Amino acid sequence: MAESAVEVIHSWSAPRSLSTSLMYSFAQRDDIEVLDEPLYANFLRVTGLDRPYREELLSKMEADGNKVTNDIIFGPGKKKYRFCKHISKQRLQGLTDDLMKKGKHFILIRNPLDILPSFDKVVPPSFYELGLAELVCIFNELHEIGKAPPVIDAAELQQDPEATLRGLCNDLEIPFQPGMLKWEAGPKSIDGLWAPWWYKSVHKSTGFEKPRKYPQPFPFSLYDLLEQSLPLYNMLRRHVKKKSSLLSPPLPNPDLPVPANGKLLAWVGDEILPRDSAKVSVFDSVVQGGDSVWEGLRVYNGKIFKLEEHLDRLFDSAKALAFENVPT
């Protein structure tokens, strides 16, 4: 069969995000070929990072990132589409702009609570190795050049794989194929040579599996890394189009009879924050025990009515409840 130009679909994710399962899913299609982390050798060459398979990988894969991009990722093929599984940290400085400007892109995210416990099987987890910061950069860069990528969450792939894949295919403007939901267990010819180190679990799978009903305890040693990573995950999660009940907020945002109130600032602790960022901990006594005091103020002709009297009453109420560190 003669080769011709193909339409490239780029998948970007952090490690341990079900990206290999998704690659297997797309590999079941009759109109697509897949590439497993084609920029991996370039990443190891440029960064100098060690891996158990480093020398073998550098000897067998093209390690010039721009050659990979031009000749392999965007080279001619025998099928209509080419699916490229990318890990976000492998997008390094010096790669041609075509990598981002050409083809269709989407982003796969997963909660760091689920990523981190299994991450250190090959390399110690770190903020850099996780790559969530680079994933946010990729999203922002694609958005800035007018190619805002669809974002899907691994939790939704596990809970409702068909609906999630149908939605993704719709966003990518390709037809959904039911065969994407199942694959045979075992190693695949499309696997990168690093598969024996990273793919043992996915080789046992035949589809997207439901998450554990009772997750394993999170290692306390990874708590600081989790704290650094969660805001980046949550930032990307806000862009997931179809949200399952797991990802949706439990209550809708309240109506704002005065739209200008959406721009309010709130004083929380020692910070003045915009409305959406004004939050208190679930462990705060106002949440745990309903401990709070408040005053409602009226404004007439641009002046607060009886401000001093209201503040005096507010402070008296706070003292009556034995509040400490009441601001003055």
Q: 74-106 pLDDT, tens per residue?
A: 999 999 999 999 999 999 999 999 999 999 999
R_g of the chain computed on alpha carbons: 25
Asked whether residue 214 carries a pLDDT value surpassing 60, the answer given is yes
Encoding tokens for residue 6?
A: 């193909």
CA 190 – CA 113 distance, rounded (Å)? 29
CA 42 – CA 211 distance, rounded (Å)? 34
Q: Measured at the alpha carbon of residue 204, what is the angle toward residues 104 and 15, in degrees to the nearest 5?
A: 40
Q: 115-124 pLDDT, tens per residue?
A: 998 877 778 8
Tell me if residue 162 falls in helix, strand or coil. helix
Domain 7-237 indexed as CATH 2.115.10.20 = no
Asked whether residue 247 carries a pLDDT value surpassing 60, the answer given is no
229: left (phi over 0), alpha (psi -120 to 50) or beta: alpha
Encoding tokens for residue 310?
A: 């209201």
Asked whether residue 110 carries a pLDDT value surpassing 90, the answer given is yes
- CATH code of the domain made up of 259-320: 3.30.470.10
Asked whether residue 260 carries a pLDDT value surpassing 70, the answer given is yes
Q: Which pLDDT band, with edges at 50, 70 and 90, does 328 fall under?
A: low
CA 87 – CA 131 distance, rounded (Å)? 8
Q: Which pLDDT score is estimated for 251?
A: 55
CA 310 – CA 295 distance, rounded (Å)? 7
Q: Are the C-beta atoms of residues 82 and 35 closer than 8 Å to each other?
A: yes
CA distances from 23 to 4, 100, 166, 179, 293 (A): 22, 19, 15, 13, 54
Instruction: Evaluate if pTM is beyond 0.85.
Output: no
Asked whether residue 244 carries a pLDDT value surpassing 60, the answer given is no
Q: Which pLDDT score is estimated for 245?
A: 46
CA 226 – CA 125 distance, rounded (Å)? 10
Q: Measured at the alpha carbon of residue 248, what is the angle toward residues 247 and 252, in degrees to the nearest 5?
A: 165
Q: Identify the weakest region by mean pLDDT among 126-130, 247-251, 304-308, 319-323.
A: 247-251
Where do the structural domains in the chain lie, given as residue ranges?
7-237, 259-320
